[in-house]
Structure 1
Amino acid sequence: MRRTSVRPARLARYAWLAAVVLLGGCSFNNVDSADYLKPYFDSAGVKGCFALYDNGRNEFTIYNRDRYLERFPPGGTFNILTGLLGLERGKVFDEAKTGAGGPSLTVALRGDSTAYFQEVVRQLGRDTVVNRIKAVSYGNMDTEATVDSLWLKPGLSISPDEQLGFVKSLFFKQLHFQTRTQQVMQTVLEREKTPNYTLAWDEAYARDSAGRPVGWAMGWIEERNHPYFFVLNIDGASGAEALLRKILTQQGFFKGVK
Structure 2
Amino acid sequence: MRHLLFLRFAGLLVLALLMGSTTRSPAVKERDFGAYFAAYGLRGSFLVLDAATRQFMAYDVARCRQGFLPASTFKIPNTLIGLETGVVRDTAEVFRWDGVTRSFPQWNRDMSFAQALRVSCVPCYQQLARRVGAERYQQWLPRLRFGSMRVTPASVDTFWLTGPSRITQFEQIDFLQRLQRGKLPVARRTQDLTKNMLILSRGPGWVLRGKTGWTMQQGHDNGWFVGWVEQNGKAYFFALNAEPADGKPATAQFVQGRRAITEQILQREFGLLAGPAK
Using the size of structure 2 for normalisation, the TM-score is 0.77
For 2:168 and 2:29, locate their aligned partners in 1 and report how far apart those are by CA, in whole Å: 19
In structure 2, the partner of 1:38 is: 34
For 2:160 and 2:134, locate their aligned partners in 1 and report how far apart those are by CA, in whole Å: 13
1:190–1:25: structure 2 CA closer, same or farther, 3 Å change rule? farther
For 1:148 and 1:106, locate their aligned partners in 2 and report how far apart those are by CA, in whole Å: 19
- Secondary structure of the corresponding residue to residue 143 of structure 1: coil
Q: Pick from 232, 244, 248: which aligns with 2:262? A: 244
Indicate the percent of aligned positions where both proteins have the same amino acid. Answer: 29
Q: 5+ unaligned residues in a row in structure 2: which ranges? A: 1-19, 98-108, 245-249
In structure 2, the partner of 1:224 is: 232
In structure 2, the partner of 1:11 is: none
CA root-mean-square deviation: 2.1
Q: Specify the structure having the higher radius of gyration (Cα).
A: 2
In structure 2, the partner of 1:152 is: 161
Cα distance per residue 1:152-180 (max 9 Å; x no partner): 21221111111111111110112221111
- Secondary structure of the corresponding residue to residue 94 of structure 2: coil
Aligned residues: 231
Q: 5+ unaligned residues in a row in structure 1: which ranges? A: 1-21
* Matched residue type, 1:75: A
For 1:78 and 1:211, locate their aligned partners in 2 and report how far apart those are by CA, in whole Å: 21
Q: Which moved more, 1:188-197 or 1:48-57?
A: 188-197
In structure 2, the partner of 1:104 is: 112
In structure 2, the partner of 1:214 is: 222
In structure 1, the partner of 2:92 is: 95
Q: Pick from 198, 213, 218: which aligns with 1:189? A: 198
Q: Which moved more, 1:93-102 or 1:149-158?
A: 93-102
- Secondary structure of the corresponding residue to residue 154 of structure 1: coil
Q: Pick from 149, 157, 179: which aligns with 2:188? A: 179
For 1:25 and 1:103, locate their aligned partners in 2 and report how far apart those are by CA, in whole Å: 48
For 1:95 and 1:180, locate their aligned partners in 2 and report how far apart those are by CA, in whole Å: 14
Q: Pick from 55, 60, 75: which aligns with 2:51? A: 55
* Matched residue type, 1:222: E
1:119–1:31: structure 2 CA closer, same or farther, 3 Å change rule? same
In structure 2, the partner of 1:3 is: none
Using the size of structure 1 for normalisation, the TM-score is 0.83
Paired residues of 1:40 and 1:247 also in contact (CA < 8 A): yes
* Matched residue type, 2:197: V
* Matched residue type, 2:228: W
Offset at residue 25 of structure 1 (A)? 5.8
1:88–1:102: structure 2 CA closer, same or farther, 3 Å change rule? farther
Alignment of 1:97-136 (within 5 A): 97-99=94-96, 102-136=110-144
Offset at residue 26 of structure 1 (A)? 5.2
Paired residues of 1:91 and 1:98 also in contact (CA < 8 A): no
Cα distance per residue 1:209-244 (max 9 Å; x no partner): x54211100110011111111111101442211111
Paired residues of 1:52 and 1:62 also in contact (CA < 8 A): yes
* Matched residue type, 1:78: F
- 2:92 is the counterpart of 1:73: no
Paired residues of 1:106 and 1:189 also in contact (CA < 8 A): no
Offset at residue 195 of structure 1 (A)? 2.1
